[in-house]
Structure 1
Amino acid sequence: MTNRPAGWRRGAGCVLGDIVGEWLVRATGMTVAGKPLYADFLMDFTLVWLLGIGFQHFTIAPMRDIGVAQGLRAAVKADTFSIASFQTGLFAGTWVYQEALFAPGLAKTTDSYRLLMQLAMIVGFFTAWPVNGRLVRAGRKERM
């Protein structure tokens, strides 16, 4: 175990899920309702949730000295609303630049896309902030 705060694992799950999801959609040509952007949202959310819960489990279980099943349940309780609120802000920000500002959307291979994705992640940070505060106060998440 390193001296890094436990939150780095959850952030790692989100980053990995968003990156892998985006490129899986691009590589497969997947669409939802005829749009790759909506497939991105679906794939990203699924991977972010799975990886986030997995990483959170490996933080919670040792800290609380609980087993796998209890650790997974605790991770789901700690991260589901947090991930959903973050991804909602990220997806809203992404939708704005992909559908409203630069329709029909920027290519994922451009620097502009990646820059605007980072700005959308900042929106996600602010949409997740109050949810995470409530989860900490409720004892479902640990204070960092």
Structure 2
Amino acid sequence: MLQIIAWIALSIGILSSIIITIDVIRHPQMMTIMNIVWPINGWFFGPFALWTYFKWGRLKAKDNQKEDTRGRPEKVFVSTSHCSAGCSFGDAVGVPIVAITGLAIAGSTLFAHYVVEFVLAYVFGVLFQFYAIYPMNKEAGAANAIKSAIKADSLSLIAFEVGMFGWMALVHFVFFAEPPKPTEATYWFMMQIAMILGFLTSYPANWLLVRKGIKEEM
């Protein structure tokens, strides 16, 4: 039954990503990196990502004529979506690396996943943030944009990984006698849930960063 649920959830997520991808091709975002962010969110948020994209994301399309009436909660949601997409992409890239290499740390593949995926999530998270900051202020230079990206994304990224890694630990040690493998649909369904939880733990951090002026609301 869990396998069936997993395949359904993954199929819905992929379909949501495809729908969003088609729409951002037809209606590109003013901030180029968001053309990648929204489809990634579609993969783990599914229909909810579709709803938020068409309600809030399309307001930032280059051809949009509607007034942007979003409040801070909605803008912070989009900021968190941007952060979560970079983290999720890095985490997803890290999974096959650990699986193919058979890497283990302290005898644990879970710890290897933690280390590899955190590093890649950090790299891609900062990279996504860089491409949000640099195009708006190229005069300040790329080095300054990288520093700003690290400052803006570090706390929110750590908060994301707390939620994600916490769920991964429960999956590994509590929920299954034999944890699912990356070759199984159940594994990636668990990753979808982990990314949603990471988003939820990252939202308060993004709110704090926006309130203190460290990060721009989007």
TM exceeds 0.5?
A: yes
- Deviation for aligned residue 1:16: 2.4
Out of 10, 15, 21, which is 2:94 matched to?
21
Gaps of 5+ in 2: 1-27, 38-81
C-alpha separation between the residues in 1 aligned to 2:154 and 2:216? Answer: 14
Query: Structure 1: which 4+ aligned runs deviate by more than 3 Å?
Result: 4-7, 9-12
> Alignment partner for residue 81 of structure 1, among 149, 155, 159?
155
Q: Does residue 199 of structure 2 align to residue 143 of structure 1?
A: no
Matching residue's letter, 2:162: T
Cα distance in 1, alignment partners of residues 216 and 178 from structure 2: 41
Query: Counterparts in 2 of 1:59-138, with a 5 A limit?
Result: 59-65=132-138, 66-138=140-212
- Which of 128, 138, 159 is the aligned partner of 1:55? 128
Which residue in the other structure is 1:3 paired with?
29
Q: Distance in 2 between matches of 1:3 and 1:54?
A: 18
Cα distance in 2 for partners of 1:47, 1:60 equals: 20
Q: 1:78, CA displacement in angstroms?
A: 0.5
Which one is further off, 53-62 or 82-91? 53-62
Unaligned runs of 5+ in 1: none
Q: Which has the larger radius of gyration?
A: 2
Identity across matched positions, percent: 37
Rounded Cα–Cα distance in structure 2 between residues aligned with 1:11 and 1:4: 19
Contact 2:126 2:146 in 1 (8 A): yes
Matched, 1:38 2:64: no
Give the superposition deviation at 1:111: 1.1
State the aligned residue count.
Answer: 143
What CA RMSD, in Å, does the superposition of the two structures yield over aligned residues? Answer: 1.7
1:56 Cα deviation (Å)? 1.0
Q: Which whole-Å CA distance do the structure 2 matches of 1:12 and 1:113 have between them?
A: 19
Per-residue CA deviation, residues 79-120 of structure 1 (Å, 9 max, x unaligned), is 011111001100001110121111341111111111111111
